[in-house]
């Protein structure tokens, strides 16, 4: 029987993205919400993406049996000294919308030429194994911040992030391309390698299916 992987996230976009990238592995994937733990909201008070990812994964691993993974992702803009960084999802406040965060970023970069709007998307994924060992993997993608929203695919800062080598935003490239080249895709490729080592023999009850 396939191994259970529980995603410590309530973001449906991340869940679908991760399911798509890991679809070839012999695993059952579900979110914390699927298992009734959607109300567990871990305070992301770490000073790095790695600290926050580990904290989120450990919190859920204490409640469930299975492999737990959690990611923390940030957009680091060079001209802004690395902002929004670890605060990317709440750049305009704790309950900020994607649009509000994007608009704040555009305001802070007003008047800055495109060649100076360099940025890096970074993702750290923390893995807590069934025997509670903690591992991390990493991925990044470089690009520039555009001057206006372009494209209607993706989420977060995707309509502004122009990917190096493509001259299009993630939102213009679409999910199929993004899921091959993005920071999260690269981190998930590293995750695949770790999971292949972790999984070994498959056993246990499928807790991810209704």
What residue numbers does the annotated binding site for Mg(2+) cover?
A: 43, 72
Q: Is 71 a catalytic residue?
A: no
Instruction: Give binding residues for substrate as ranges.
Output: 9-14, 73, 155-158, 178, 183-184
Closest CA to 137 of 43, 90, 69, 202: 69
Q: Look at the block and give the residue holding tokens 């691993």.
A: 61
Cα–chain center distance at 89: 11
Instruction: Give binding residues as ranges.
Output: 9-14, 43, 72-73, 155-158, 178, 183-184
C-alpha distance across the termini of the chain, in Å: 15
Closest CA to 158 of 179, 138, 187: 179
Residue 151 burial by CB count (10 A; 0-12/13-18/19+): exposed, middle or buried?
A: middle
Q: Are 69 and 127 in contact (CB under 8 A)?
A: yes
Encoded tokens for 99: 């649009």
How do 3-7 and 118-128 pair as beta strands? unpaired
| Angle CA 108–123–125, to nearest 5 | 150
Among candidate residues 34, 45, 71, 72, the one labeled active-site is 72
Active-site residue numbers? 72
């Amino acid at each position: 029987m396939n191994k259970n992987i529980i995603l410590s996230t309530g973001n449906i976009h991340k869940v679908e993205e991760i399911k798509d990238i890991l679809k070839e592995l012999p695993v059952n994937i579900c979110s914390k919400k699927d298992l009734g733990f959607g109300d567990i909201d871990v305070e992301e008070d770490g000073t790095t993406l790695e600290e926050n990812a580990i904290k989120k994964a450990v919190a859920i691993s204490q409640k469930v049996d299975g492999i737990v993974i959690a990611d923390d992702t940030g957009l680091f803009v060079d001209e802004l000294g690395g902002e929004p960084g670890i605060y990317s999802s709440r750049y305009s406040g704790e309950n900020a919308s994607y649009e509000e965060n994007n608009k704040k970023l555009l305001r802070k970069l007003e008047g800055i030429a495109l060649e100076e709007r360099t940025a890096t998307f970074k993702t750290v994924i923390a893995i807590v194994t069934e025997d509670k060992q903690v591992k991390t993997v990493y991925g990044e993608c470089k690009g520039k911040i555009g001057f206006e929203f372009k494209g209607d695919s993706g989420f977060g800062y995707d309509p502004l992030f122009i990917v190096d080598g493509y001259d299009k935003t993630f939102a213009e490239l679409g999910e199929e391309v993004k899921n091959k080249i993005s920071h999260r895709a690269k981190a998930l490729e590293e995750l695949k390698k770790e999971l292949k080592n972790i999984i070994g023999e498959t056993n246990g009850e499928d807790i991810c299916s209704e």
